[in-house]
Each structure stands twice: as structure tokens, then as C-alpha cells.
Chain A
């Protein structure tokens, strides 16, 4: 029993061959089914005579605690980035059916959301960078020379809601102390490199830290309960061989101390794991009802279940997530954005047709140097597979000489956008604040998408960010 591998469950079986259990999991008749929360609340109210709120919008209004400036200050050029259209951000879907999955629409991305990059991007066309990959792209990459045309799109504008996050009101010593208490991390709070932290960093105990970013992100990790502690491929320290007279070299002692192998017990899966994650998120102050959840357990690593929570607004994933690693005795690591959402109000948005025009507007779409990029470009570059298109043979051949006087090839990509989805995208203001801004996701007939901010010019502040 003592030399069971990390792949064995507590009952001694090797999960790889437990086909029966995998089939049983997959046969779940309730996979993906969810009740209507409002009607459950109403039904419980009726049975108990307890008044339960049935309008989630009320909660948001209750959390509103300050008004942000009316005009969003957006970096001067927000490039459109192609995002997989219709691709389900189905985090961690198990090989078997997951009881709870993320069903909201996929998130919409805006470039610069992740790194807050100032969008004064170079206008130089990166033809060299593009050419090498051109054979692999669904859309040949002509250094970003793309002309966008709207077809069949509405010319009516409208409005969309924007949200911010109260990071400033959340980032505090009180918050880290409360989080440390909720997670059971001992120690005194300290400030390091701008973050609040509790707990030791030397690997002997759990630690939690709160980051001064636009979402007041919290990170928690307990190295002493990490199930992979047992699985170091190389010892951290090798005992010096005893030099004995016989000249033999003693084999180094493995530094893996089996006594610290925390567990090979199976972690809870599915709803049970999500329940634990939700309980912990709630204890940290998250509005757990605003998220959708998915749990994923690798059948070959049953000690760990990963739970992902996706913040959903108006039926669309925002791209903001929380996550937790669940092991047999509870949460072992966690990431959560603690800053509550704040209503920024309703903004006027351009029509989908105008949004297409914006893709050619340097204030919104950079036509060259890594701005608007076809989706397939990213996916293709990630793999070595050459897909479709006329690709060159694997051996380079010398190009034919151009003919004197003939027009010089200057390819321009033509894209026709036929559908539009108005949602929100996470973007970072020059101050570092995180904002969900009304954004269009535009798609061509093949489902390749581009996105562009939807707020009308008059409600954007284009002044350069210094």
C-alpha cells in the first residue's frame, strides 16, 4: 500500500481503467440542467412566508456605491481582436458530462484588456512577421491590410450598460485580514510590493495575498496540501555520496519525503466540488450567484478537481473568472476577484454598421503592426499543422522573377461582416481600473469574429494617456 503511485485512488484501483465509473458519470440524467432561480425563490417564499428577493437587479442596485465619471476614458486606439465565434468557453469540461457547466455566451475580448497596453501602437506593417505564417492562415495575413464591409447589419444605434469594479474600496488591510480568516491562514498582515499579504512564503504554510489591481484580485495557495508535493521529478537536494574507502559512490537519497505526500485521496467532483468552491467564494464576499461554474477532474489525477467560475452579465461571460483547486479536504488554492461590480450606467452605442466602419478607423482598429488579426492566425500559429490554403511545400523554392511593368501585387484582405452581437468586454483604463465596456462582436459568414468598442464617440475620451 505504501508504494502506490500518485495515480492510484484510495481504493487501490488505477483510474485509467475504471471505464465503468466513467460511463456512470457520463450517464448523468441531469447534466446541464438548472432550475429557474427566481421561481425557486418564489416557491420557497410561499412555503416559508419568508420574504426572499426575486430580482437580481435589486442586488446590483444595492451594491452601487458611487458614480463613475460619465465619459469613459479609453485608450486612444482600441484594436479589434479576432475571437473565436461561437466557441464555447466551456472551462474544464470533463470527459464525462458535467452536472454544472457554463452556459452563458462566450466572452468578448478587446485588445489591451489584459495588459493595459497603451494603444499608440506602431503603424509599421509587419509584413515580415506575417509572411512566414501566411501559408497557414485561414485568412492570409497581408500585414494587416484589411477592408471591412458591413452586409445586412442594422443602422440603428442603441445603448448598453457599462460596469466598473470597486477595487479602491476593497483593497485594504481589513479585506486581507477577513480573507485570511475565512481561508484559515495564520499570520499578521503585511504590505509587500504594493500587495497585502498574510502567511509565509517559504512553502511551509499557506499564504494569501490581495493585489492592488483593478479587480482587487485575491490569491491563496497552501503548498502543504498540494497533492503534487510527492511528485517531484528531481530531488531538490542530493545528499553528497559518502566517500568510503572502497571508492564506491553511494546513490543519492531521494529528497522526496513520502511523509509529506499529503494525500492520494480522491477530491470531490462535480457539484460537490462546486459547492465547496461556492462556499469559500461566498465567505470571501463574492456574489456567487453572478457566476456560472464548471468542475473538471482529470480521471488520471483524482486527487484534484479544478473549479472555474465565470462572471456572467446579461447572459454573457465577461471574461472575468474565479477559480479554486479542490482536494479531498477542501480548497487548496484559489484565485478570486474581490472588487464588487459597480454600475457605470447606460451609454449610447453606435449601430453595428458604424461599428464595422470603426474597424477601419485608426482610433479603434490598427491596420498593421499586429492590430486586427484573423482568429485563425492565433490558432494556426500555435500548432504546426498546415491547414487549407495554398501552402508552400516544406522545402523553400526560389520565387519567380516579377515581370517588368506588371502591376505590383499588393494584396488586401476583404472581409464582409454579416452579424453583430452587442455585449461587454473587459478593458483596462489608463489608470489601471477595470471596466466592462459595451462592445460589438462582429462576425463574417464563416464565424470569424472581430470586436470593437461600441460606445459613441461623444462618450469616449480620446485624449492621449500621457
Chain B
């Protein structure tokens, strides 16, 4: 299985739809091949949201480049992007791209990046509210990840589950626990 980094353009304009490494054809059954117009629509609709996701977790300096990386990945893997649920897919990919970027630029195939979030979370550093920063720091990495997706990206339900890569029931429960722990940690700082 060839490894590809997100920033490597590997398509010529005249290429036929690419075969994904695991053999999935770019054409889904009964659906049109996704073309430049599709990609442009995805970029126009979701570039802002993706950019903000990245600014929150990796800062502003690299956000433009990383946003373009995410959207380029959407093109390369366009067969996998679910119709009508592009944004959660983009967020999930953005999570991988950000984690990849944090590993000091060591190129890692996007698909190989684990779900773990670094303990030293730039999202916390960017928060100006000192008390929020303190409380976030008291929570586990997984709780933080879920809380930020809910509080900042506004994700709930099925969309949240897709971004986390887990089932709906698990996502609901995990969010509920994370919100409860946030309240407890908050109350603890006021004790």
C-alpha cells in the first residue's frame, strides 16, 4: 500500500478517477463521479469551518496551509466523502492533519495517525480565559476533544459520532460524561 502525504499532489487533470489504495473505485454506485465542480462547492461551503477547526487546535500561522491540505485530501479521497455529511468527514480528516502536523512535521500517512490527542494541547494554550484553560487542563485528553467538538464546532448526535469515529450511542454517552466532568471541574475551582 503506497503511502501518501496530504500535501503531495498526485493527480494530473486528465487522470481518470483514481483507484483508492484499498481498491475502492472513485465512482459510487449510481452516483456521478465527483468532479471539479463538486470540489469547488465543498471548498466554498466548508473552508471557513475547517479553517476555524484548525485555528483552534494548531494556531493561525499554519492554518491556511493545513486547511488546504484537508481540502486536498477530500479530493484525493472523494469516493469516501459521504454525501450530505461532508463537514463531519472534513473535521475528522482535519483532526488527523492537525495531529500529524504536531508531530514536528514528520510525514505520516494520514490514515495511520491514531486518535490520541497530545497531552500538550495547543487548543488550551489558545484559550484566553484563564479559568477555562485551567479547567480544561484538569480534564482528560479524550474529554477535551469531545468538549471542544461540541462547544466550538457545535457538533452533536450523529455528526459528532462520525467525527469521533465511534457509534452514536457511544458518542452521546461520552459527551454526557465529558459535560458532567466539565461541570465538576468547574465547581471544584470555585470551592
- The residues of A with any CB-CB pair to B shorter than 8 Å are 10-13, 18-21, 23-30, 33-35, 37, 39-41, 43-44, 46-53, 99-100, 265-275, 278-279, 282, 288-289, 295, 305, 328-329
Indicate if B41 sits at the interface (CB-CB under 8 A): yes
Indicate if B36 sits at the interface (CB-CB under 8 A): yes
A281 to chain B, nearest CB (A): 9
Q: Which of A12, A99, A289, A328 contacts B52 (CB 8 A)?
A: A99
Pair A270/B67 contact, Cβ less than 8 Å: no
Complex contacts, B187 vs chain A, CB 8 Å: 20
- What 1/0 mask marks residues of chain B from 117 to 145 whose CB sits below 8 Å from any chain A CB? 00000010011110111011000000000
Instruction: Look across to chain A and name the residue whose beta carbon is closest to the beta carbon of B122.
Output: A29
Q: Which of B36, B68, B186 contacts A51 (CB 8 A)?
A: B36
Pair A10/B172 contact, Cβ less than 8 Å: yes
Pair B9/A46 contact, Cβ less than 8 Å: yes
Complex contacts, A288 vs chain B, CB 8 Å: 44-45
A-B contact count (CB 8 A): 187
Pair B131/A265 contact, Cβ less than 8 Å: no
Would you list the 3 A-B pairs with minimal beta carbon distance, nearest first?
A270-B154, A20-B186, A43-B68
Complex contacts, A30 vs chain B, CB 8 Å: 51-53, 55-56, 152
Pair A275/B49 contact, Cβ less than 8 Å: yes
Complex contacts, A278 vs chain B, CB 8 Å: 45-46
Indicate if B1 sits at the interface (CB-CB under 8 A): no
The segment from B22-30, B70-78, B99-107, B108-116 that touches chain A is: B70-78
Report if A23-B131 is in contact (Cβ < 8 Å); known contacts: A41-B40, A99-B52. yes
> Bound state CA distance, A265 and B154, in angstroms?
14
> Bound state CA distance, A269 and B51, in angstroms?
17
- Interchain residue pairs with CB less than 8 A apart (21): A10-B176, A11-B176, A13-B183, A20-B183, A29-B128, A30-B53, A37-B48, A40-B67, A41-B43, A43-B65, A47-B72, A48-B72, A48-B76, A99-B153, A271-B48, A271-B49, A272-B154, A272-B156, A274-B49, A282-B41, A288-B44
- The residues of B with any CB-CB pair to A shorter than 8 Å are 7, 9, 11-13, 36, 39-41, 43-49, 51-53, 55-56, 60, 63-65, 67-69, 71-72, 75-76, 84, 86-87, 123, 126-129, 131-133, 135-136, 147, 150-157, 159, 172, 175-176, 179-180, 182-183, 185-187
> Bound state CA distance, A47 and B73, in angstroms?
9
Complex contacts, B53 vs chain A, CB 8 Å: 30, 271
Q: Which of A18, A19, A50, A269 contacts B179 (CB 8 A)?
A: A18
Pair B185/A271 contact, Cβ less than 8 Å: no
> Bound state CA distance, A341 and B77, in angstroms?
34
Pair B55/A33 contact, Cβ less than 8 Å: yes
Pair A25/B69 contact, Cβ less than 8 Å: no
Complex contacts, A279 vs chain B, CB 8 Å: 45, 84, 86-87
Pair B43/A28 contact, Cβ less than 8 Å: no
Report if A44-B186 is in contact (Cβ < 8 Å); known contacts: A23-B129, A30-B152, A35-B47. no
Report if A28-B151 is in contact (Cβ < 8 Å); known contacts: A21-B179, A48-B76, A52-B39. yes
